[in-house]
Amino acid sequence: MWYTISIRLNIFMRETPDKSEQLFLKLYDTYQHAIFRHCYFRVYNHELAKDLTQDTFMNVWDYMSKGNMVKNPKALLYKIATNSIIDHTRKKKEQSLDRMEKDGFQPVAPHVLEKTIDSDIAMAKLMDILNTLDDIYREAFLLRYVEGLKPKEIAILTEESVNVISVRISRAKRQVTRILNTKNIV
């Protein structure tokens, strides 16, 4: 499906290069949720993922408003999102509790906290498993099973061959399954 959308967007861009605002809105409507998921499954913080998604689209808008042509909109979005995540990680600083309270941090209700903790525990278990994978396998696994991309789409985004991506996905899946079985999670 995204391939068809990308083709339509590419044709649209060639036909109406002066309508970058319309194209940007189409890109945003089409990819906002996918880019959010991409960010979220790398930072595991809902608000931060929203901020990174916003930064990604702002950077795309800056790029497009300068009259630059976008050959592969989806690849551009994922590349900018990944770079935003990397930039954030480099700038990340620990904050003290006093500083957090000064900035508006407030405790939440116990029942909300319990649900959040359960969700966080499940996410932590999944992340522990995924963090045992090499980066190339983890990335392929997340793009395939979290983002829902096909190997061909992942190959385009990562500039690797479809065969290489398929092998990485297969190996990652095998490793995750093995870990789940050894920990008696499944």
User: Cα separation of 40 and 32, whole Å?
Assistant: 12
**Domain shared by 114 and 79, yes or no:** no
**Domain shared by 74 and 156, yes or no:** no
**Domain shared by 73 and 115, yes or no:** no
Domain count across the chain: 2
pLDDT value for 5: 44
pLDDT value for 90: 80
DSSP conformational letter for 16: -
Q: Look at residue 100 and tell me if it is in a domain.
A: no
Evaluate whether 135 touches 144 at the Cβ level (below 8 Å): no
Q: Can you give the residue range of the structural domain that contains 132? A: 109-186
Q: Which tokens in the block code for residue 63?
A: 């790029």
Q: Look at residue 148 and tell me if it is in a domain.
A: yes
pLDDT value for 128: 81
**Domain shared by 145 and 72, yes or no:** no
Evaluate whether 158 touches 82 at the Cβ level (below 8 Å): no
**Domain shared by 79 and 161, yes or no:** no
pLDDT value for 1: 37
Q: Taking Cα atoms as reference points, which of 146, 138, 147, 145 lies closest to residue 168?
A: 138
**Domain shared by 77 and 132, yes or no:** no
**Domain shared by 8 and 82, yes or no:** yes
Q: Look at residue 34 and tell me if it is in a domain.
A: yes
Q: Look at residue 98 and tell me if it is in a domain.
A: no
> Can you give the CATH number for the domain in which 180 is found?
1.10.10.10
Q: Look at residue 180 and tell me if it is in a domain.
A: yes
pLDDT value for 131: 85
> Can you give the CATH number for the domain in which 76 is found?
1.10.1740
Q: Which tokens in the block code for residue 101?
A: 């309270």
**Domain shared by 114 and 73, yes or no:** no
**Domain shared by 143 and 65, yes or no:** no
Evaluate whether 38 touches 13 at the Cβ level (below 8 Å): no
**Domain shared by 80 and 49, yes or no:** yes
**Domain shared by 85 and 119, yes or no:** no
Over the chain (186 residues), the average pLDDT of each successive run of 10 is 46 56 87 93 90 93 84 90 88 61 62 63 76 89 87 90 94 89 71
pLDDT value for 165: 94
pLDDT value for 116: 64
**Domain shared by 1 and 47, yes or no:** yes
